[in-house]
Amino acid sequence: MHRAAIGIFDSGIGGLTVAREIARVLPDEDLIYLGDTARLPYGTKSAATVVRYSERAVDLLLRYPVKAVVIACNTASAYALDALRSHTELAVLGVIDPGARAVAARTRGGRIGVAGTEATIRSGAYQRAIAAALGLDEPSAAERIVARPWPLLVPLAEDGWVDHPVARLTLETYLEPFVAAAVDTLVLGCTHYPVFKPLIAEVLATRFSGCPITLVDSAEAVTEELGQLLDARGLRAPAREGRRSFFCTDLPERFQRVGTVFFGGDVAPVFPVDL
Ligand code: DGL
């Protein structure tokens, strides 16, 4: 079993930021990544649709030899995690709880920001998980947690505009309510946001006079928990060079080309699949 792969599911290309972190921290592991590019974006869809799409995709992933599944997509983690866990005995990790625990460990003053897709923010999943991790009751959570959608970052990232003046202006606008609310920690609750980390840091430094907001990347948090889970269950791969396979449901050439921005390296081989 320990020789089986880590299955990674995302609505499309962005989850390659999670795959990248897993490949960096756990280089011996084989990775099988499935991006549902035919149905992207999930972040503008209803809960029922996100659950239905995620179930189909993860069922396909489970046909491959995998030993654990990571739901890299924040929107799918927010709505579909319980449903997906009922499909398998394997461990299925979402990104929201690890992200919330990382926030609780890092906040200094307990004022937290959450940025994500419209659906993720609307679900309230991060807000609830952070409140639980910090032991906050509902009124204190409402006062201390500021959550906002950042929808424009998804197309900007997919067009490679990660350091473009349009991205800079967008981030100035998006960061403003978090700075005004004096948050000290901000969760990047969407697969596409980690590629903007350098620009976010720069905008905070220049436009907001060095406002000290700590960024929490759910990709890092879930990778840490995945490593602990593999250790606890004796599932670590033997020392070797992990193999990567990528599947997507539409436009494999685009997936490969745009994917390199998110994965930070060659995305190959890519196989088209139908759900
Ligand atoms: N993967 C999605 C997420 O992390 C972002 C892209 C989409 O809307 O499907 O929420």
Q: Is 74 in the pocket of ligand 1 (CB under 6 A)?
A: yes
pTM listed for this prediction? 0.96
Using CA atoms of 127, 145, 100, 219 in order, give the dihedral in degrees to the nearest 10.
Answer: 100
Tell me if 190 CB under 6 Å of ligand 1: yes
> Hey, what CATH topology would domain 5-95+220-272 get?
Rossmann fold (3.40.50)
Which band of pLDDT confidence, cut at 50, 70 and 90, is reported for residue 1? confident
Dist. CA 191 → ligand 1 center (Å) = 6
Q: What distance in angstroms lies between residue 229's CA and the mean position of ligand 1's atoms? A: 25
Nearest-CA residue for ligand 1 atom 8 is: 43
Q: Is the CB of residue 262 less than 8 Å from the CB of residue 197? A: no
| Per-residue model confidence as pLDDT tens digits over 81-130 | 999 999 999 999 999 999 999 999 999 999 999 999 999 999 999 999 99
> Domain 97-218 - what CATH class?
alpha beta
- Active-site annotation holder among 190, 221, 222, 248: 190
- When comparing pLDDT for 160 and 35, which is higher? 35
Provide the pLDDT for residue 186.
98
Q: Are 80 and 50 in contact (CB under 8 A)?
A: yes
**pLDDT above 90 (res 24):** yes
Query: Is the minimum distance from the CB of 54 to ligand 1 under 6 angstroms?
Result: no
Torsion of the alpha carbons at 3, 4, 9 and 15, rounded to the nearest 10? 20
Average pLDDT over residues 45-52: 98
Percent of the chain with pLDDT over 70: 100
Measure the N-to-C terminal CA separation of the chain; round to a whole number of Å: 26
pLDDT on residue 100 = 97
169: pLDDT confidence band, cut at 50, 70 and 90? very high
CB 111, CB 180: distance < 8 Å: no
Q: What SS3 class is residue 54?
A: helix
Can you give the pLDDT at residue 264? 94
Instruction: Classify the phi-psi angles of 101: left when phi > 0, otherwise alpha if psi is within -120 to 50, otherwise beta.
Output: alpha
- Is residue 248 annotated as part of the catalytic site, yes or no? no
Q: In angstroms, what is the span from residue 96 Cα to ligand 1's centroid?
A: 13
The pLDDT value recorded for residue 2 is 79
User: 189: pLDDT confidence band, cut at 50, 70 and 90?
Assistant: very high
pLDDT 10s digits, 140-156:
999 999 999 999 999 99
Task: Assign 3-state DSSP to the chain and report helix, strand, coil percentages, each to 5.
Answer: 50, 15, 35
- Which part of the chain is CATH 3.40.50.1860? 5-95+220-272, 97-218
Cis peptide bond upstream of 238, omega within 30 = no
Q: What percent of the chain has pLDDT over 90?
A: 98
- Ligand 1 pocket check: which of 46, 191, 248 to mutate, most ligand atoms within 8 Å of Cβ? 191
How far does the centroid of ligand 1 lie from the alpha carbon of residue 199, in Å?
20
The overall average pLDDT reported for the chain is: 97
